[in-house]
A = this chain, B = another copy of it.
């Protein structure tokens, strides 16, 4: 298979590889409204209703470490991150399929703990687990989830809908999941060096919880629907705020300006970042896995959302020619860089 040219995946990068692969595909069915390239695909069901479909693969040693991630939390997270992608389309999740591959180092009780988390998430997000595949693995645990949801056609928020002067909003706070991961990794090393050391994680409960028990912001989706606000564009912050802003700018052919002093960061995230010698703002901009919603709204909708305690207005959409900028607390304008998540 490798007797000709060999290009390393690291040369083209994860997004480069996906771009290269997805260019091959064209859609045949009129019902396929949106294929590759958003948080979820969109299928026309007729009658003004659409279905969104999204899928995620979670691999042991890449996406999770069972030495500090309890199986029940992992099961919950596997569902939550897919529900988050459905939310990011402004749709309501309804069904999921769950496939797992596992080796015989897992007991039936361990698998049941994983499924207890899946069941709890299914209940929490009101989704039906309608199928899946259970198989053996030669090494680590693999979890593949596909989630399906529904929405009215005109309510779908694509990445490509941001317009000039739209306001950029983000929910909750950012950077916590990254900081939580750093703490869990640090404590793991301490434990490996001396198994008698008992990690004291209580002080870091918020940030480790952000990493181990992320929540899909379906609460925000329901509230937006109640308030009659349809985001002009939306995605969930899985790869880091800067990276997600780049997706919006690329697909909406626009620029963006965000303000450092508007970026939401939790006190524990901030303090722990400083303790770890990390720049808190870099963590907010480039930390992944927070699963908060990043979206843009029309100016007219600002008044409706203004008082919402968990929605933050961090900037605005600018012309593409003005690029992507961060205005620092001191008023300096710097170019925004997307580092994102690198698995390869």
Give A residues with C-beta under 8 Å from B: 1-2, 4-12, 14, 17-18, 20-21, 24-25, 27-29, 31-32, 34-36, 40-41, 43, 45-47, 51, 53-57, 59-63, 66, 70-71, 94-95, 97, 99-102, 104, 106-113, 115-116, 119, 122, 126-140, 142, 144, 146, 148, 343-344
CA distance A40 to B95 in the complex (A): 13
- Of chain B, the residue at the smallest CB distance from A343 is B136
Could you tell me the distance in whole angstroms from the C-beta of A134 to the nearest C-beta in chain B?
5
Closest to A46 in B: B47
A5/B109 in contact, CB under 8 A = yes
Least CB distance, A143 to chain B, in whole angstroms: 9
What residue of chain B has the Cβ atom nearest to residue A21's Cβ? B115
Bound-complex Cα distance A8 to B28 (A): 46
Report the minimum CB–CB distance from A45 to chain B (whole Å): 5
- Interface pair A1/B40, CB less than 8 Å apart: no
The interface residues of chain A, by DSSP majority, are classed as: mixed
A110 to chain B, nearest CB (A): 5
With A7-B108, A8-B104, A45-B45 as given contacts, are A142 and B94 in contact (CB-CB < 8 Å)? Answer: no
Contacts of A31 in B (CB 8 A): 94-95
Asked whether A32 lies within 8 Å of B95 as measured between CB atoms, the reply is yes
Write the nearest CB–CB distance from A53 to chain B, whole angstroms.
6
Contact B110 A2 (CB under 8 A): yes
Establish whether residues A1 and B43, one from each chain, have CB atoms under 8 Å apart when the complex forms: no
Nearest-Cβ distance from residue A174 to partner chain B, whole angstroms: 22
- Chain B residue nearest to A22 (CB atoms) is B129
A-B contact pairs, 20 of them (CB 8 A): A1-B70, A1-B109, A1-B113, A8-B108, A9-B107, A17-B111, A20-B112, A21-B115, A24-B115, A28-B127, A28-B128, A41-B130, A43-B94, A43-B130, A43-B148, A53-B148, A55-B133, A59-B138, A62-B138, A138-B139
Contact A35-B107, Cβ < 8 Å, known A20-B112, A59-B136, A135-B62: no
For this chain, the copies found in one complex come to 2
A34 surroundings in chain B (CB, below 8 A)? 130
Residues of B within 8 A of A47 (CB): 46-47
Query: A11 vs B56: C-alpha distance in the bound complex, in angstroms?
Result: 30
The 8 closest A-B pairs by CB, nearest first: A41-B130, A144-B144, A136-B343, A7-B108, A61-B138, A146-B146, A57-B99, A41-B131
The answer for the CA separation of A115 and B134 in the assembled complex, in Å, is 24
Choose one: B18, B128, B136; the contact of A25 (CB below 8 Å): B128
Q: Are B5 and A130 in contact (CB under 8 A)?
A: no
B21 near A130 with CB under 8 A, answer no
A124 to chain B, nearest CB (A): 12
Asked if A344 contacts B62 (CB within 8 A), the reply is no
Q: Which residue of B lies closest to A82 (CB)?
A: B133
- In the complex, the answer to whether A55 meets B146 with C-beta atoms within 8 Å is yes
A138 to B119, CA, bound (A): 28
Judge whether B133 and A43 touch: CB under 8 Å: no
A7 vs B110: C-alpha distance when bound (angstroms): 9
Q: In the docked arrangement, what's the CA distance between A119 and B25, Å?
A: 7
Q: Which residues of B contact A32 (CB under 8 A)?
A: 94-95, 128, 130
Shortest CB-to-CB span from A229 to chain B, Å, is 25
Q: Which of B4, B112, B146 interacts with A97 by CB under 8 Å?
A: B146
Residues of B within 8 A of A14 (CB): 134-135
